Chain A
Amino acid sequence: MLPEALIKIAYLLAAVLFILGLKGLTHPRTAVRGNLLGALGMLIAVVVTLLDRQIVDYTVLLAGLVAGGAIGAILARRIEMTAMPQLVALFNGFGGIGSVLVAGAAFTAAIDALMGAAASSGSAAASTATLDVQVTIATGASGLIGAVTFWGSLVAFGKLQGVISEKPVHFGGQQVVNALLLAGALFLGVWLVLHPTQVGSYWILAAVASVLGLLLVLPIGGADMPVVVALLNSYSGLAAAATGFVLSNNVLIVSGSLVGASGLILTNIMCKAMNRSLTNVLFGRFAPSAEAASADDVYAGKVTSTSADELAMILDGARRVVIVPGYGMAVAQAQHAVRDLANALERRGASVEYAIHPVAGRMPGHMNVLLAEADVPYEKLIEMDAINPTMEQVDVAIVIGANDVVNPDAKNDPQSPIAGMPIIDVDQARTVVVIKRSLSPGFAGIPNPLFAADNTMMYFGDGKRAVLDLLAAIKEL
């Protein structure tokens, strides 16, 4: 059995490894090592904990570790890269529920010990036995944040997996109900602090927070999922940090706050990329204004449709091609076909790059992972701000499965619901090719004047099929 100080030093080492691990993620070259350092930190933390003298029974532990490890490993190996957002949402949720359970168990144990001590001393203090206030507060925070994270993540998982509708679910008085639930949870938190011996109120608190978590995420639509997943990521960290306060354990506090900060930064980046506040994403909804042009006005008689053969000829003369992927590419599993198309164009002497909008896909960096899976080197993935100034020199911009993030109304129409949202300026390219099933609107529910622009050609079809046909046409040239 290790002395207390040694355990604490080992925890410190783990915390340092987590920081170094995250630092490794600042560059693709050092990222693999960074992740391994993080895993090593976790291993050290777990091993020294197993040697803690509080632990007297290993059977339950090993059962949990083996079963959990096996489930985690299978999920991690089997998951498709396109399904990464829902997996991360699920893992977030598991971290959240873990914190709820740990805080609950630690709190129950502390109260039991307190009651036991008070009863054996036979003092009148038994009825007024109290815990340190901060422990109770932290327990309440753990239960609240953890439960919101768990249920919110499950809803996000359901939406991303298609188990429940991706569409926003709205009902009257939603905000009021949420506010009441939050107030109820906070009241229970205060109750818990005043009457900590009534452990049951912790579980009621967690139950109320669970309903809150469900209702918070249900109204949020598919395209806003990057924000939700990032925010839940942050919550899972904060829940772990709160549990750290319950247990007075620094490694939990440090790791939890690192993750909390990370999630908040990503949330912020996602919100900026949509020019919306976090409150607007969480509680607002897209309401196309009454005066907004109807799809017929925008598209009537102005849409040029094209074929694979015609496109192949246009691409044959192109020197610089930029591909703009969106969630539709992920849905169509078209990333490998797109890579093949890019390779074919490069063999014919064109330069091909990919322009990545920060909110393309269903989580931050989703497109980058898909293209990395298809062996596209990461240097070719160019951020929106870097590629926009050069868009005028692009011969052909190919938009595949993206819509709102290339809608020029965001710049040109101050009345548009997406006004002010940064977009990839494909309309500046000499020719724009949009690969899309139909003229149906994107998440914002508004028509896209890009599709009717003089320099735009619509290439209708399923993303993957369309790209493969185009590839075949190019090879026949």
Chain B
Amino acid sequence: MVEQSKQGQPKLTVRVELAPVESGEAVILCPSGRVDGSTVGILDVAVQERIDTGVGILIFDFEETTYISSAGLRVLLMSARKMQSEGGKAVFCGLLPHIAEVFEISGFSAILDIRANRADALESV
């Protein structure tokens, strides 16, 4: 399932980066574009692939995420829960103000580890 924008660009791509941290290596997922009900499957697959390979630290960098609906929030909640149950850690960072508002209303700020930016996120793990 690949939803295209009217310019023919994919509405959502998820870039995967690696960064060394004190406890080893962190996997950073960078969703670029819109996470809505029609694209959320792309994020879900990217996350599952990483969790299945036994990643210990998963960082979601939302700097390039312009939109997220409850369909996306659901995937994030499930991912954080799965990481926790497998003894790993999920950290979320780079939220644009309107995305941060959505996290806040949803009550995610209390249960997810949210950092201002990638540098802060990397330092926290």
Does A associate with B in a complex?
no
Taking Cβ atoms with an 8 Å cutoff, the residues of B that contact A are none
Taking Cβ atoms with an 8 Å cutoff, the residues of A that contact B are none
